[in-house]
Structure 1
Amino acid sequence: MLNRLSDTIYYLSNQEDKERPTLGLVCGDRYSLIIDAGNSPRHAKDFLIEIEKLNVPPVKYVVITHAHWDHFLGMNEFDATIIVNHQTNELIKEWQRLSYDDRSLQKYVTTNQISAMCMEIIQTDMPNRDRFKLKSPDVIFENTLTIDLGNKVCILERIKSTHTDDSTIIYIPDEKVVFLGDCAYGTTTNSLFHYKQSLLLPMMKDIQKYDAEMFLLGHESICDLNEMNIYWEELTTASHVVKSISLENAIESFKLENKRNPNDNELFFIQAFVNDHIIQSQ
């Protein structure tokens, strides 16, 4: 079932047990726009079934927030203009060259091209896929793109983020809503989960320049401004004390600067920033 954020914005909540991220729907007077295409054709079809229950203008655009499989593998199901930034397009090209039969998928898992979870979802949700080929996006933009759905403007901006370099965020000014995809999360490199420390403040600046009160995230669904500010505060406080690969030094520095022990979130973030130093030192 779709969640209604306003008269013109809806979203399908993330389902972590199925590796399904949040999908968004923005409706103008003439057209509707979808944010992210889902992790499989089945996910996309489930979303479209829910949209059909609403009396909304036809879907003309689908924006992919970044080139991680769970956000775009359903895009063949949409009879709409697929929009991506330039780098997302280059990364999707790699998936267009893949074969999706069981033998090929197993080989990709073995060579770390895809995850075991990705293979499992594809095998479950795409039973007839031996000849499956991912279609190409229709519109590729560089840095920003503005789309008018009919008295409903959507601003797309590519930003570098702590999650991936090809992140696109979507801001709806009259609603003060921004879809962040996964950009505010960390990432995993060489089996270490980390936040790209050098990109944290630039990313926050890119996001906070928009006058937003509600934030849709790929794997949390929705946060209000207060919740996002707490998240940013915990991230920046943790980042500030990490200056080396020493977790002990970072925790001690946190205690000295803040006159308290880090909470569970801050401790998690401190470890993630320490991991980033470890990765940068390799």
Structure 2
Amino acid sequence: MHLAGRVWLCAGDPDPESVQAGVALIADERGSVLVDAGQSPSHAREIRAALLAAGLPPPRWLVYTHHHWDHVWGACAWPDVEIVGHVSGADLLRAEATRPWSVRYLREEVRSNRRLGPSFRARALAVDSWDELRVLPPTRVFSDEVELPTGVLVRHVGGRHAPDSTIVVVPDSGVMLLGDSWYPPPAHLRTPTDEPDLALVGRLLDDDIGWYVSSHSPPLTLDEARRAITG
């Protein structure tokens, strides 16, 4: 779906049990910027086919909004891209890459920690072939902010959902991609008092940005985002 300017969206699955994040493409003839990779190699291939059918330039850069599996497990199906991510996420993904991912491993982990069940069941359903899955850390890391050659801004915001949470701003299109930055911690780490971090979103709102896109929610206009924060 075309959102605004040169920003296109591939929506995730609205069923929360599938844990499938949306993916964005910032089109540019010099090389597009892909924001998040898809939850699996097969999901990434579906997105690639949709972008090809829409006639959009292929990605040259892949930006991780954070290290969680549903945002990065499709990276191995995107050839010839430079992967950009926050330095803290790189360390976490290097550790994730050493784990023996398989259905057997998922079962063993859930036996040790039942709270992992929903996430790990979703992983088992998402991956068609464990032999092709490779968890890829970023090949280019940053600490605070980096601007890509196409004018796309990548900025670390942190937060409780993930230490490496990153937003992507496309000033010429008036779009801010929030990833999961304002969401509470993942379900297996969440406590009854954890709530969405609306204050974080409030600090990010900008009169020059007309659209705010979260990975698991429909896009909001600036006015809708303001109303969501104030209740």
How high is the TM-score relative to the length of structure 1?
Answer: 0.73
Asked if 1:13 corresponds to 2:14, the answer is: no
Q: 1:7 to 1:159 in 2, by over 3 A?
A: closer
Pairing partner for 1:218 from 209, 215, 226: 215
Query: What code does the residue aligned with 2:164 have?
Result: D
Match for residue 40 of structure 1? Answer: 40
Aligned-partner Cα distance in 2 for 1:224–1:108:
40
Aligned-partner Cα distance in 1 for 2:133–2:37:
16
Q: 1:95 to 1:201 in 2, by over 3 A?
A: same
Query: What code does the residue aligned with 2:176 have?
Result: V
After the TM superposition, which segments of 4 or more aligned residues of structure 1 sit over 6 Å from their partners? none
Match for residue 279 of structure 1? Answer: none
Match for residue 87 of structure 1? Answer: 88
Asked if 1:229 corresponds to 2:230, the answer is: no
Give CA deviations for 1:156-193 in whole Å, capped at 9, x if unaligned.
10012242221100000111100000112222435436
Asked if 1:67 corresponds to 2:32, the answer is: no
Q: Is the 8 A contact 1:163 1:184 kept in 2?
A: yes
Which structure has the bigger radius of gyration? Answer: 1
Asked if 1:129 corresponds to 2:130, the answer is: yes
Deviation at 1:146, TM superposition (A): 0.2
Aligned-partner Cα distance in 1 for 2:52–2:208:
31
Pairing partner for 2:158 from 160, 164, 167: 160
Paired residues in the alignment total: 226
Aligned-partner Cα distance in 2 for 1:213–1:71:
24
Deviation at 1:32, TM superposition (A): 0.4
Asked if 1:208 corresponds to 2:205, the answer is: yes
Q: How does 1:1-282 map to 2 (within 5 A)?
A: 3-17=1-15, 18-79=18-79, 80-112=81-113, 115-130=116-131, 132-149=133-150, 153-187=151-185, 188=187, 189=189, 191-192=191-192, 194-195=194-195, 201=199, 204-205=202-203, 207-209=204-206, 211-234=208-231
Deviation at 1:104, TM superposition (A): 1.1
Name structure 1 gaps, 5 residues minimum: 235-282
Q: 1:211 to 1:72 in 2, by over 3 A?
A: same
Larger RCO: 1 or 2 (CA < 8 Å, sep 6+)? 2
Q: More helix per residue: 1 or 2?
A: 1
Sequence identity (%):
21
Query: What code does the residue aligned with 1:221 have?
Result: P
Determine helix, strand or coil for the equivalent of 1:16.
coil
Q: 1:7 to 1:196 in 2, by over 3 A?
A: closer
Q: Is the 8 A contact 2:40 2:133 kept in 1?
A: no
Aligned-partner Cα distance in 1 for 2:153–2:113:
35
Q: Is the 8 A contact 1:99 1:131 kept in 2?
A: no
Q: Is the 8 A contact 1:25 1:33 kept in 2?
A: yes
RMSD: 2.3
